[in-house]
Structure 1
Amino acid sequence: MTDWSGTTLVRVADDYDRERGDSGAPLDSRFGRYLAQKLDDGLWEEDRTDPKAFLVWAWHVATPPIMSPGYVRIRPDLGSVRLTQSQYDGRLLVEIETPVQHGQLAPGVRPPYAVRDWETDRYSYSDGPQRLQAPEDESRPALLLSAVLRLPADDWQLHEPAGKWPVEELLIDDAKQAIAVAVKHINATAGHQIAKLVGSEGGHW
């Protein structure tokens, strides 16, 4: 897997997925088992050949809470990375939710009184960005801020799913190709914007 960086927000855990397969066969996949189980749960017949609807469904299956750990891994310091379709015009949207610590705000807009902030999870084992959590000490007030960056994905060249999968391996291949496209675009288009909000380039906004 690719190491985390300031602009790497999501990545695919393909080796882990194969290692956790039931049979150990080359095409066996933990992700595939979840896809097969959820095929009739949230993916309408008419959506199976729709690249946007298929991707939103596959992404939902590939990420927590459905798969935990997910086939798609989300950088630990972020809250979530979701794919949705606009209820107004059906366009594909990516939504990245991230905690915002007080120090990332300009001094003039920081909380005007003493309150606790997000804390680093001391049980996190990540070598890179650390997961943030609410303060363990709940006896003092806390002001926990977060932001959601929502971006349109109009220029993504999406994978075209077959829509019918006589064998599970074909469904898995379609879903993995769709996910790979999304991961590439999310990191390329949203990575720098998140870095300017909360990464090494961030703060004072």
Structure 2
Amino acid sequence: MAGQQAFWIDGRSDRERVRYSGVSHYSERVWENIGEFEEVWGDIAPVAFACAAWRIATPPLTSPGFVRWHRRILSASCERNTWDGSLTARVTIVSPLPAALTVSRGWWRDRGWRDWPEIFGQFVEPAEQDLAKVPYLRPTLLVDAPVPLDDLPAAPDGPAHDLAETAHRALAVLVRELNDLLAPVVTHLEQNPR
């Protein structure tokens, strides 16, 4: 099996959802949410700008997101590390049960434990009616990882005409770096689901 993509930019959906600019729905979203960049103009580090660009490209600010992710990824955010100002990605990934719980099923005690429900291949929250009947154990992996800053574009000095283009470049770098980090994890989980 070839490697899985963990993240990608959905250019086709972006072009289909354009409302008034004729260029890009994401560009429109950047200008509609310009307040996200309020504290980042002229910042010496590109981190806060990249994080704002990411927030605008992902749910809940844009749904479906301009940046899309693999079905095992439940959430992905980018944050400035308060210790040194670097960029930290925080990603939650659906996981199979840990090995310690699969060695023996004695802990089940005939309660009918279930893991992640799937609808059309997507991991979903169990419905309230299902939670009233059986217990669920839905394991996740929480990834906190530094993201290299080398290729991130500099934060603009203000809302210039190339703001959306600069935000798009920041997203492309973040997607590339997160894929480099997490695509092998996602591929392994897909190849070894239980």
Structure 1 residue 180, shift from structure 2 partner: 0.5
CA deviations over 1:158-186 (Å, ceiling 9, x no partner): 1223333333xx11100111100111111
Structure 1 residue 187, shift from structure 2 partner: 0.7
What SS does the aligned partner of 1:8 have? coil
Question: CA–CA distance in 2 between the matches of 1:144 and 1:111?
Answer: 18
TM-score by length of 1: 0.78
What SS does the aligned partner of 1:184 have? helix
Question: CA–CA distance in 1 between the matches of 2:139 and 2:124?
Answer: 11
Structure 1 residue 62, shift from structure 2 partner: 0.2
CA contact (8 A) 2:36 2:52 kept: no
CA contact (8 A) 1:156 1:185 kept: no
Question: How many residue pairs are counted as aligned between the two chains?
Answer: 186
Residue 180 in structure 1 maps to residue 178 in structure 2: no
The verdict on how the C-alpha distance between 1:100 and 1:47 changes in structure 2, with shifts beyond 3 A counting, is farther
Question: CA–CA distance in 2 between the matches of 1:109 and 1:43?
Answer: 54
Residue 7 in structure 1 maps to residue 4 in structure 2: yes
Question: CA–CA distance in 2 between the matches of 1:111 and 1:14?
Answer: 49
Root mean square deviation, CA, Å: 2.5
After the TM superposition, which residues 163-174 of structure 1 pair with which residues of structure 2 at under 5 Å, given as runs? 163-167=157-161, 170-174=162-166
CA contact (8 A) 1:195 1:202 kept: no
Residue 91 in structure 1 maps to residue 89 in structure 2: no
What SS does the aligned partner of 2:155 have? coil
Question: CA–CA distance in 1 between the matches of 2:165 and 2:44?
Answer: 14
The verdict on how the C-alpha distance between 1:65 and 1:40 changes in structure 2, with shifts beyond 3 A counting, is same
Question: CA–CA distance in 2 between the matches of 1:192 and 1:86?
Answer: 24
The percent identity for this pair of structures is 23
- Corresponding residue of 1:127: none
Question: CA–CA distance in 1 between the matches of 2:70 and 2:179?
Answer: 11
Write the letter of the residue equivalent to 1:60: R
Structure 1 residue 23, shift from structure 2 partner: 3.5
Residue 131 in structure 1 maps to residue 128 in structure 2: no
TM-score by length of 2: 0.82
Write the letter of the residue equivalent to 1:132: F
What SS does the aligned partner of 2:19 have? coil
Write the letter of the residue equivalent to 2:61: I
Residue 192 in structure 1 maps to residue 184 in structure 2: yes
